[in-house]
């Protein structure tokens, strides 16, 4: 596997702490419009890293790659995943998974579904976020946020009251994946003794 022609930039400064606790995961956009700011707003333990790898060892280097579920989004996502697999991403960066956000309401075209399989081959975990019409009329600051152990929201809750059910579900799975990733180095150190 070779590195892609277009590589992501590297953010050398630490991720900012904008909430009660420092972020534990960086949301990295595979392309512009991937939804990094919305996802970082929805998930309290996350930080928006734009389209840059988090290169500072002083803050979280666990990453969720975000992309739109469309052919250009998937191609860009594959580029980021290939970049990480061949080692051109900064040292310490660990991809926890990929979040694919719907590019439009309705069915996903067959060609996009087929190319999605390439992303699934390169990522340990792939999560889906559906289309949410209400996002069109909301500012980021208005959106509710998910924190670990929040109860599942009601199905028809406004985005100002609770995150959508699929966002809550993915947030819960992300917290579990982060916990497993944090536990694995400890287990490896214990087994080396």
pLDDT digits (tens, 9 = 90+) for 120-155: 999 999 999 999 999 999 999 999 999 988 888 988
In this predicted structure, the answer to whether residue 185 has a pLDDT above a threshold of 70 is no
**Alpha carbons 59 and 13: distance in angstroms, whole number:** 9
Q: Would the pTM count as exceeding 0.85?
A: yes
Sign of CA dihedral 100, 111, 71, 30: positive
Q: Which residue has the tokens 């988090």?
A: 54
Strand partners, 66: 29, 99
Report whether 117 contacts 153 (CB < 8 A): no
- φ/ψ (deg, to 5) at 130: -75, 180
């Amino acid at each position: 596997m070779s590195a892609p022609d277009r590589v992501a930039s590297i953010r050398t400064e630490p991720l900012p702490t904008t909430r009660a606790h420092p972020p534990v995961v960086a949301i990295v956009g595979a392309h512009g419009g991937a939804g990094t700011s919305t996802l970082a707003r929805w998930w309290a333990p996350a930080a928006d890293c734009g389209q840059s790898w988090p290169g500072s060892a002083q803050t979280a280097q666990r990453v969720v790659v975000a992309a739109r579920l469309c052919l250009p989004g998937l191609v860009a996502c594959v580029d980021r995943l290939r970049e990480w697999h061949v080692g051109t991403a900064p040292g310490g960066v660990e991809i926890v998974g990929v979040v694919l956000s719907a590019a439009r309401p309705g069915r996903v075209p067959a060609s996009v579904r087929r190319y999605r399989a390439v992303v699934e081959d390169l990522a340990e975990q792939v999560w889906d976020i559906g289309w949410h019409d209400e996002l069109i009329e909301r500012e980021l600051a208005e959106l509710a946020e998910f924190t670990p152990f929040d109860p599942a929201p009601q199905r028809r809750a406004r985005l100002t009251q609770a995150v959508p059910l699929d966002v809550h579900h993915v947030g819960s799975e992300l917290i579990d994946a982060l916990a497993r990733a944090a536990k694995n180095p400890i287990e490896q150190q214990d087994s080396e003794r």
